[in-house]
Chains A and B, each alone.
Chain A
């Protein structure tokens, strides 16, 4: 399909392990976002890429979290030394970054998410 895809859909790991979560955005979308959604909450911003560079990583909770987008398309969210508190659904979204005014909004298209469970 032409939507945002994320793999794996589910990931179960043990405390202390390293995990990688992958996001394939919609072709041609230059903007890419990662969010984390805990049960009963709305998505929480983690990081924003414009092209290959991380333009805003202010939402990453600590230095165990890192994300890359080396060719400006696929992105990988990496979590080192996982903790039980990292358990959540990790969502990826992409959009066309178009110039616009303060009330213009470029729709973000979300993937289905990766459910991460840290035992």
Chain B
């Protein structure tokens, strides 16, 4: 069965620090990749997605992610975090054509002002 690993469960940063959250998956075929974010008290919402094409994907609020097929990875990055980025971040992977997503366990990010 497909598995999705998010290596960092809790990350604490100061404002303006750079962020990288890891995501690795186990499926060897075609995949659709997502990062979702859940701000405190809000529902899950899409941050960015990769279906095909340029492996460097840009999302909302200055986030980007890079799909590295050889490493089965889809890491999320932001060059300078803000206090408002405090949230839970989830990586999700769909085996191509299945439309059935598998989520990682999430990374809790706290940004200190």
Note whether A and B form a binding pair. Answer: no
